[in-house]
Homo-oligomer: A and B are copies of this chain.
Amino acid sequence: MNLYDATIPVFSKFLRNVERWLDKAVAHAEQRKFDPQVLLDSRLAPDQFPLIKQIQELCDAAKFASAKLAGKTAPSHPDTEKTLDEARARLRTCLAYLETFSRDDFVGAEDRTCSHLWMQGKSLRGGDYLDHYALPNFHFHLTTAYAILRHNGVPLGKTDFIGKLPFVKS
């Protein structure tokens, strides 16, 4: 086992799924004749992040999880996006960053010490960081992005969420 398998291909697949959700969101907005920007600015509760920020957060979740497990310093991707084209560009920037990682980068990642500034000096073993924080956090923002679109009537289903599965070749 190498934690590359649990991170880079998984994050990349789901980021591409989000691009397809945005395609469906735009098609839905065109059909219903409203500006798709409305969806980017929508949120499920007044004190929860809107869709554009959920996309920024899920990109950062993927970026930081990968960088910290691989012992690298993540590049800064400021949250300046406001439009749909900018949201797509942010997803592609993150995808391009994920492509810079190799399986070798993750050798021993399960025992690498991982920390964020908000942990105030505390840290987690790499395996625990992935299982208890990084993956739940990534999927939290991913699912919330999906839920905002579903709540606003975009025709998405579970297969749009899960995407393609790497079945065993028979």
Contact = CB atoms under 8 A, between A and B. Distances in A.
Given A143-B139, A147-B143, A168 B132 contact: no
- In the complex, the count of this chain's copies comes to 2
Interface in A18-62: 44-45, 48
A117 interface: no
A24 to B, nearest CB: 14
Interface string A1-19: 1000110011001100000
A75 interface: no
Interface stretch (A64-72, A84-92, A121-129): A121-129
B127 A44 contact: no
A132 B13 contact: yes
Contacts of A167: 119, 122-124
Interface in A123-170: 123-125, 127-128, 130-133, 135-137, 139-140, 142-144, 146-147, 150-151, 153, 158, 161-162, 165-168, 170
Which 7 A-B pairs rank lowest in CB-CB distance, beginning with the nearest?
A139-B139, A143-B143, A122-B167, A44-B151, A45-B150, A1-B1, A147-B147
